[in-house]
Amino acid sequence: MENVLRSTRVTLEMIKWEHSIFALPFALTGAMLAANGWPTLRVLGLIVVCMVAARSAAMAFNRLVDAKLDAANPRTAMRALPAGQLSAGFVLAFTIVASCVFLLGSALLNRLTLECAPFALAVVLAYSYMKRVTRWSHLVLGLALGIAPAAAWIAVRGTFAPRAALLTAIVILWVGGFDVLYACQDFEHDRKVGLFSVPAMFGLERAFRIAQAMHVAMVALLFVMLHVFGLGAIALLGMCVVVVLLAYEHAIISPRDLSRMNAAFFTLNGIISVVFFVSVAADVLHRR
């Protein structure tokens, strides 16, 4: 029992399950906009299960694929696999089980969700290889998370609408921007081992400007979203708070001082996603 509890604790730490808060609020937003309110409890529960399962599979697979790279990077050398806390076989089995849970949950929703599920799973798993082939892996990560609101829309309606893709674009730019900033911590290591990233390719100063441009574009789409979905003052207030939080995120770190990166990356982005969801949800429920 003690070994099981230890393995469970280490596995949850490995997949950073608490960071599901980054994408889950956007998935819930897509679901509420599709349903024009709360979807049924069954659909809502299956969306959460699929979201967490897909993200868990992606995180475990990423740790498996990057085990040797993590071992060579001082910042990541103490992760579960390079530190010997978990075996590669266990992590692979976990990835397979989580993937199967995701596919089963998709099948229980509707036919289109099941048909799209293999594509979504391929995207979230393929991200693990992107730093080996493109400097724009940050946007692939954004797509991996950005699938969530569009998938939730399909889960609720059983059909796809072009406006749902607007939510995906918002998440792509949001995640892409903050992942560029986060990658600044490893730009010297990435250059040394031949990995691709925006900071490794362009340097810290230009990487910060690129991240800022992504977030400016995201902000523009936030206000387009308000118009497209016919949202009102409550959602507008929430988007203004998101803008302020994004500005603060960029204010507390710089190319010369990355010491507050964790606060910017984890704390602020978690708050941003929650504010986004709560304001849109409140607006939708208020208009009913």
pLDDT tens per residue across all 288 residues of the chain: 555 556 666 665 666 655 566 678 999 999 999 999 999 999 999 999 999 899 889 888 888 887 787 777 777 667 777 777 778 888 888 899 999 999 999 999 999 999 999 999 999 999 888 888 888 999 999 999 999 999 999 999 999 999 999 999 999 999 999 999 988 888 887 787 788 888 988 989 999 999 999 999 999 999 999 999 999 999 999 999 999 999 998 988 888 887 787 766 777 888 899 999 999 999 999 987
Computed from CA positions of residues 66, 260, 138, 17, in that sequence, does the dihedral angle turn out positive or negative? positive
Distance CA 17, CA 92 (A): 17
So what's the pLDDT on residue 5? 55
Q: Which two tokens stand for residue 259?
A: 């010491």
Under a CB-based contact definition with an 8 Å cutoff, are residues 29 and 150 in contact? no
- The contacts found for 108-114 with CB under 8 angstroms, 24 or more apart, are 108/46, 109/43, 109/46, 109/47, 109/50, 109/155, 110/154, 110/155, 110/158, 111/158, 112/154, 112/158, 112/159, 112/160, 113/151, 113/154, 113/155, 113/158
Angle at 101 between CA 89 and CA 145, to 5 degrees: 90
So what's the pLDDT on residue 13? 67
Quickly tell me which residue has 């010297």 as its tokens: 188
Contacts of 7 (CB under 8 A, 6+ apart): 86, 90
Q: Look up residue 110 and give its amino acid.
A: N
So what's the pLDDT on residue 253? 87
Q: Please, is 258 exposed, middle or buried when counting C-beta atoms within 10 Å of its C-beta (0-12, 13-18, 19+)? A: middle
Phi, psi of 254 (to 5 degrees): -150, 165
Q: Which two tokens stand for residue 108?
A: 């229980």
Distance CA 219, CA 227 (A): 13
CA distances from 87 to 13, 58, 63, 184, 243 (A): 15, 17, 11, 29, 42
Under a CB-based contact definition with an 8 Å cutoff, are residues 13 and 63 in contact? no
- State the pTM of this model: 0.88
Contacts of 262 (CB under 8 A, 6+ apart): none
CATH class of 2-287: mainly alpha
